[in-house]
């Protein structure tokens, strides 16, 4: 899930439980003169729920973040031949906004956010997406989607006739799967079964999981390979599979709710999506599959924007033919039917990672494989902390690690996407009762606790291993988990783009919140600009005498440039000096850190902008709260964190399943990069061994030296004291 440096985890996601109730959308109306809309229209959409007892109004505007001007959609046949899609931006009616309900005092009261895709406008509009009413998330599905993704126990619906819209709330979802997961704990992974991964142990649990002397002491046996062997491990979002991750190299209890490290101004994470033949076959056409993917990411992006100030934007979409090939083409190794033997969701993650490695220069944050193939109850899988990692790193066990994840089709796809992307950005699972029962796991920050004093997150948040509860937000611990990891550079976010001079899919549009070419500012239209005195919402130009926009520019205050020398990016320690404003520009200068290996403090050296050492990273990841922490690294070899401490017992090293920060010293004169040691030499390794074993070296040298001295002395004695021969 998260990295100390770079850490991976294996965990999976489950589908939702059965519905106790759903409602139909009735009396839907688009409030425009002709009841028609275009991709760039801002409008109100009203309807009723629960047989007319609940009125709802959505105030919507185009969401251009999720679909860019240079977004490339490619259709691929079963042989791997590609052709550009005919789907254009003006056909993608994807919107974001707010949900309102009637109020006696206010007329209409804002009660939550909304993300909607409109399929048909006019007098009888058809749409899907999600919106929230007082923190209860409402899912809007087409009849056809509901039938394709319904689970046992769901209410029946007519299987013939035209499309209509079904709405179910998170509060309507039953708890059957959660109970089953609790009951199957032991089957999952050593300690309490795989509950560790399946339950809300999300941020820290993957931090220091296995023990080199006896891995079964903590986890179990089923996924021993993924859990205890191999440099990286995988995780699935909501499920019962094992997982690994890291708390970003910090004690997760100490960063709960802290946003330091997350971007102060909005950033965009551009992603690629590959839809395999299994996924596409569940839709009437490739266009329909493409639109569903866009709708899913539109909903998931809302959560990332609201929580981390990072939007998710689609830049590349590869849609396979609905007919699965006899054997996958070399250009699409992931395109394998669900019926293929010996291919599970873990293998599919390896395959999409291999594919991602062929796109090294695309500048994307991650690639997602959309499929219909589940492994048991697992519906998602991701490499942890691998955002912006384009290289495909093949391990000795055959796994392939890269910035990639897998999402299987369900009725809650957007939550699975949000969960898996959370792992990609370094989030571990939330803690659950099973994990909290093991003091070592809690102490080692192996999962994300509810608070500094309460361990179990009670399945209330997105990084819970299972998705059948009322889950709509990331936990405060996950916020600290991801933001601190970004701030410490435990995850690489260099590929994220700024919200300035962004090229979107169509002609520039003032009011969409994105500053495009020709605009000076864009605070999001009349609604978004209510408290903004710097930007004119109608022209997207600065107001009179304004030279910058406080809401978008780090070096702007009161619509004027901040004074020269004003701190715009605080120091993160001796290896990461602060950046200051120039006094003549609105943007903060580029973030610059000291070179890796620079001496910083207390014998430590700079690595990825942090003043640290191998011992220090062990102390941080172990999460000990004692005043005297005697935890240390087991050796200076390699880049996988292994830690020892007197409390563990003699000769015991814990394999934390995390990597040392990029730039950490290894094998003498080498440096870690993405979990591997590079640049080391034999001479450097020998010197390092001598430095680490000075006592032994001195002892041996003294003994050898003593023997030599004694030998010389004896030789001299014999030579000097040898009886002289008698003269004849």
Identify whether residues 695 and 714 lie together within a single domain. yes
32: left (phi over 0), alpha (psi -120 to 50) or beta: beta
| pLDDT at residue 435, rounded to an integer | 75
Identify whether residues 667 and 700 lie together within a single domain. no
Which pTM does this prediction carry?
0.66
| pLDDT at residue 569, rounded to an integer | 86
Query: Per-residue pLDDT for 198 more than 50?
Result: no
pLDDT in tens, 509-554: 677 677 777 888 888 777 778 789 999 988 999 999 999 998 888 8
Identify whether residues 661 and 697 lie together within a single domain. no
Query: Per-residue pLDDT for 131 more than 70?
Result: yes
The answer to whether residue 225 is domain-embedded is no
The answer to whether residue 609 is domain-embedded is yes
- Domains in the chain, number: 2
Q: 421: number of CA atoms within 13 Å, CB side? A: 31
3-state DSSP of 62-86: ECCCCEEEEEEEEEECCCCCEEECC
Count the neighbouring beta carbons within 10 Å of the beta carbon of residue 706.
10
The answer to whether residue 703 is domain-embedded is yes
Task: Work out the pLDDT band at 64, boundaries 50, 70, 90.
Answer: confident
Query: Per-residue pLDDT for 495 more than 70?
Result: yes
| pLDDT at residue 274, rounded to an integer | 95
pLDDT in tens, 620-651: 776 543 445 678 899 888 888 888 888 777 88
Mean pLDDT of 460-465: 86
Residue 429 marked in a binding site: yes
Nearest-angstrom CA–CA distance, 12 and 236: 2
Query: Per-residue pLDDT for 721 more than 80?
Result: no
Mean pLDDT of 405-422: 91
Residue % of the chain over a pLDDT of 90: 31
| pLDDT at residue 665, rounded to an integer | 93
Identify whether residues 706 and 644 lie together within a single domain. no
Nearest-angstrom CA–CA distance, 482 and 461: 14
Residue 419 marked in a binding site: yes
Q: Please report where in the chains the tokens 């620079």 appear, as a residue.
A: 598
Query: Per-residue pLDDT for 229 more than 90?
Result: no
Identify whether residues 619 and 672 lie together within a single domain. yes
| pLDDT at residue 277, rounded to an integer | 95
Contacts of 508 (CB under 8 A, 6+ apart): 516, 517, 518, 519
Query: Per-residue pLDDT for 339 more than 60?
Result: yes
Angle between helices 682-692 and 694-721 (to 10 degrees): 90
The answer to whether residue 669 is domain-embedded is yes
Query: Per-residue pLDDT for 279 more than 90?
Result: yes
Q: How far is CA 17 from CA 417, 430, 652, in A?
A: 18, 19, 42
Q: What is the DSSP letter of 336?
A: -
Identify whether residues 703 and 638 lie together within a single domain. no
Query: Per-residue pLDDT for 68 more than 80?
Result: no
The answer to whether residue 640 is domain-embedded is yes
Identify whether residues 652 and 674 lie together within a single domain. yes
Residue 232 marked in a binding site: no
Average pLDDT, the chain: 78
Nearest-angstrom CA–CA distance, 364 and 388: 6
What is the torsional sign of CA 208, 209, 215, 218?
positive
Task: Work out the pLDDT band at 3, boundaries 50, 70, 90.
Answer: very low
Nearest Cα neighbor of 298 from 107, 73, 598, 67 is 67
CATH code of the domain in which 644 resides: 3.40.1620.60
Question: So which residues are the catalytic ones?
Answer: 420
The answer to whether residue 519 is domain-embedded is no
The answer to whether residue 349 is domain-embedded is no
Identify whether residues 673 and 701 lie together within a single domain. no
| Listed range (270-279, 365-374, 699-708) with the worst mean pLDDT | 699-708
Query: Per-residue pLDDT for 311 more than 70?
Result: yes
The tokens for 124 are 């009888």
| Listed range (144-158, 204-218, 402-416, 597-611) with the worst mean pLDDT | 204-218
Mean pLDDT of 406-425: 91
| pLDDT at residue 723, rounded to an integer | 65
The answer to whether residue 122 is domain-embedded is no
Identify whether residues 615 and 652 lie together within a single domain. yes
Residue 101 near residue 114 (C-beta atoms within 8 A):
no
Query: Per-residue pLDDT for 231 more than 50?
Result: no
Domain range for 632: 605-680
């Amino acid at each position: 899930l998260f990295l100390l440096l770079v850490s991976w985890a294996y965990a999976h996601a489950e589908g939702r439980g059965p519905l106790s109730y759903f409602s139909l959308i009735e009396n839907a109306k688009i409030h425009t003169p002709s009841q028609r809309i275009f991709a760039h229209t801002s409008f109100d959409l009203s309807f009723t729920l629960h047989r007319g007892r609940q009125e709802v109004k959505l105030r919507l505007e185009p969401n251009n973040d999720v679909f860019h001007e240079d977004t490339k959609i490619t259709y691929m046949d079963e042989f791997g031949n590609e052709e550009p899609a005919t789907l254009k931006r003006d056909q993608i009616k994807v919107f974001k906004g707010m949900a309102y309900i009637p109020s006696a005092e206010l007329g209409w009261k804002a009660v939550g956010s909304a993300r909607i895709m409109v399929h048909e406008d006019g007098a009888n509009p058809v749409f899907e997406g999600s919106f929230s009413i007082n923190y209860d998330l409402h899912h809007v599905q087409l009849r056809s989607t509901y039938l394709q993704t319904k689970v046992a126990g769901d209410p029946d619906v007519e299987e013939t006739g035209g499309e209509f819209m079904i709405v179910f709330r998170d509060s309507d979802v039953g708890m059957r799967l959660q109970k089953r997961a609790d009951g199957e704990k032991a089957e999952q992974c050593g300690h309490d079964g795989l509950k560790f991964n399946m339950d809300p142990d999300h941020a820290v649990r993957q931090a220091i999981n296995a023990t080199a002397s006896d891995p079964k002491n903590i986890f179990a046996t089923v996924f021993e390979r993924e859990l205890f062997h191999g440099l990286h491990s995988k995780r699935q979002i909501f499920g019962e599979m094992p997982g690994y991750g890291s708390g970003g190299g910090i004690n997760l209890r100490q960063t709960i709710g802290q946003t330091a490290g997350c971007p102060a101004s909005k950033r965009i994470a551009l992603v690629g999506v590959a839809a395999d033949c299994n996924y596409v076959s569940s839709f009437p056409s490739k266009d329909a599959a493409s639109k569903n993917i866009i709708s899913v990411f539109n909903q998931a992006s809302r959560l990332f924007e609201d929580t981390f100030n990072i939007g998710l934007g689609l830049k590349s979409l590869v849609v396979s033919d609905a007919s699965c090939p006899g054997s996958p083409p070399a250009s699409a190794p992931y395109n394998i039917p669900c019926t293929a033997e010996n291919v599970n969701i873990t293998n599919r993650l390896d395959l999409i990672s291999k594919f991602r490695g062929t796109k090294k220069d695309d500048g994307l944050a991650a690639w997602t494989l959309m499929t219909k193939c589940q492994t048991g109850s697992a519906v998602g899988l991701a490499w942890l902390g691998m955002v912006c990692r384009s290289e495909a790193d093949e391990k000795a066990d055959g796994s392939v690690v890269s910035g990639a994840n897998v999402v299987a089709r369900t009725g809650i796809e957007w939550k699975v996407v949000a969960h898996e992307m959370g792992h990609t950005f370094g989030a571990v699972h939330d803690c659950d009762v099973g994990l909290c029962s093991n003091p070592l796991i809690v102490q080692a920050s192996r999962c994300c606790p509810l608070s500094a004093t309460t361990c179990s997150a009670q399945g209330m948040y997105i990084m819970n291993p299972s998705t059948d509860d009322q889950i709509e937000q990331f936990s405060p611990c996950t916020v600290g988990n991801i933001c601190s990891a970004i701030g410490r550079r435990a995850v690489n976010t260099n590929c994220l783009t700024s919200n300035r001079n962004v090229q979107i899919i169509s002609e520039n549009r003032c009011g969409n919140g994105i500053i495009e070419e020709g605009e000076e500012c864009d605070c999001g239209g009349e609604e978004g600009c209510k408290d903004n005195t710097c930007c004119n919402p109608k022209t997207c130009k600065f107001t009179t005498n304004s030279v910058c926009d406080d809401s978008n520019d780090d070096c702007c205050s009161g619509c004027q440039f901040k004074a020269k020398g004003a701190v715009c990016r605080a120091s993160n320690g001796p290896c990461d000096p602060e950046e200051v404003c120039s006094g003549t520009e609105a943007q903060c200068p580029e973030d610059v850190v000291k070179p890796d290996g620079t001496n910083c403090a207390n014998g430590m050296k700079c690595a990825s902008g942090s003043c640290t050492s191998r011992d220090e990273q062990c102390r941080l990841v172990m999460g000990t709260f004692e005043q005297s922490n005697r935890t240390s690294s087991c050796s200076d070899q390699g880049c996988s964190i292994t830690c020892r401490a007197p409390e563990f017992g003699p000769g015991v090293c814990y394999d934390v399943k995390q990597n040392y920060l990029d730039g950490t010293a290894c094998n003498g004169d080498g440096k870690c990069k993405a979990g591997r040691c590079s640049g080391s030499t034999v001479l450097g390794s020998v010197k390092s061994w001598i430095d680490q074993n000075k006592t032994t070296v001195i002892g041996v040298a003294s003994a050898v030296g003593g023997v030599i001295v004694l030998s010389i002395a004896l030789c001299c004695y014999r030579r000097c004291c040898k009886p002289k021969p008698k003269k004849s």
